[in-house]
Amino acid sequence: MTTVTLTTENFDEVAQGDGIVLVDFWADWCGPCKRFAPVFEKSAGKHEDITFAKVDTEAQPELSERFGISSIPTLMAIRDGVIVFAEPGALPEPVLENVIEQVRGLDMEDVRRRVES
């Protein structure tokens, strides 16, 4: 599966749908971002039920500001329209796979209750 490029125009439409969306905030000049990109792409090929998306922080500074992205790469996981994970740093493949499994295993009713309270 190919990754989706997110912009201010399509971010909400993609992120607020059902299911899991993993977002990689990156920039072309960022060495750790370049090292993380193949890990992200490989994972995208293994999880066809997940939307893998990228935000170029140089081209989309409004999105970086909106989500308080101060370090890249930053991985954000969104499930059923709720941000459930956001962490800066280039994750190794086993850690990324662990994040995916944890996001899959979330009780979204419980998450929504916690967000509302």
pLDDT tens per residue across span 37-89: 999 999 999 999 999 999 999 999 999 999 999 999 999 999 999 999 999 99
What is the chain's Cα-based Rg?
Answer: 14
| Residue 33 bears catalytic tag | yes
Candidates 21, 30, 90, 100; catalytic one: 30
> Residue 24: is its pLDDT beyond 70?
yes
> Residue 17: is its pLDDT beyond 90?
no
Question: CATH code at 83?
Answer: 3.40.30.10
Candidates 20, 21, 22, 33; catalytic one: 33
| Residue 62 bears catalytic tag | no
Whole-structure pTM value: 0.93
Lookup: tokens for 33: 């971002």
Instruction: Work out the pLDDT band at 25, boundaries 50, 70, 90.
Output: very high
CA atoms within 13 A on the CB side of 98: 5
Rounded to an integer, what distance in angstroms lies between the CA atom of residue 72 and that of residue 31?
A: 10
- Counting the structural domains of the chain, the total is 1
Domain hosting 61: range is 4-116
Contact 57, 26 (CB under 8 A): yes
